[in-house]
Amino acid sequence: MLKTENIQFVRNAAFSLQNINIDIKKGEIVSLIGPNGSGKSTLLRVIANLLKPEEGTIMIDGKNVHDMTKKEFPKRLAMLPQMHDHQLDLTVGELVEFGRTPHQAKFKKMSQENQSIIDWALEVTGLTHMRNRPLPSLSGGERQRAWIAMAVAQRSNVLLLDEPTTFLDIAHQMEVLELVKQLNEEFGITVIMVLHDINQAATYSDRLIVLKAGKIHYDGIPQCVLCTEMFQTVFNIDAEVHNNQDGVYFTPLRRKRGNL
């Protein structure tokens, strides 16, 4: 579904992505985790073609993203960035309409097909009854669902989410992640997201990719990635890892001496 080969991206003298090779299968949920400044969001922006790497290629469905037109690319991949303008003078329905922009001819009335997809995006995100609500009137969780609905309305095969639970309380964090899981399971959307909460990443992901200082250090299923060695070498902490019938999670014990 999505593959990067030997990606090199230099942000400044102090940081660069180095030799990034990932292969995302169709229908996977993959979370990028790692310390602050490890390159998680930068990698997501490179994949989304918002930043151009110095070297390497990014392929979606076997096609190089740099060979795709501006109209074609958003039909294959949608990205929801970390920060949104919550004071936009738009209703929920108007925001979701923007997701159909790549499919809509300029200066033409919204087609019936596009309107049906907007209705569908609102329905699957549980926002049909809020269609005419102004964005500033929504709670944090409701607003995040509205932005996800806009991304889903693109009908892309790949959805990138940069810290979709930031600034949300625990109940709304779970609500958003349950929605992401539902979209993946019911509609086969491949998801790559950046999460800070490692236990949530392990619970809602098929696979974890761990970055530190612009390099991939671990890549695998949560049960293999979450280990005491990973927490010591990547996060510089001692941690206790627990496995049970519900999955794997960790408890931090103490911060080790030295810098991350």
The reply to whether 133 falls in a domain is no
Residue 105 has pLDDT above 70, yes or no: no
Express each pLDDT in 121-164 by its tens digit.
Answer: 999 888 999 999 998 888 888 888 898 898 888 888 899 999 99
The reply to whether 55 falls in a domain is yes
Express each pLDDT in 55-82 by its tens digit.
Answer: 999 999 888 988 888 878 888 898 888 7
Range of the domain at 56: 2-86+155-225
Secondary structure (3-state) at 225: helix
The reply to whether 104 falls in a domain is no
Q: What percent of the chain has pLDDT over 70?
A: 93
The reply to whether 21 falls in a domain is yes
Separation of alpha carbons 191 and 158, rounded Å? 6
Mean pLDDT score, 163-171: 87
Question: How many whole angstroms from its chain centre is CA 149?
Answer: 14
Q: Which neighbouring-strand residues pair with 242?
A: 249
The reply to whether 145 falls in a domain is no
Mean pLDDT score, 208-232: 95
The reply to whether 18 falls in a domain is yes
Residue 260 has pLDDT above 60, yes or no: no
Q: What is the CATH number of the domain that holds 10?
A: 3.40.50.300
Q: What is the pLDDT of residue 178?
A: 92
- Number of domains composing the chain: 1
Q: What percent of the chain has pLDDT over 90?
A: 55
The reply to whether 91 falls in a domain is no
The reply to whether 218 falls in a domain is yes
Query: Is the separation of the CB atoms in 85 and 130 below 8 Å?
Result: no
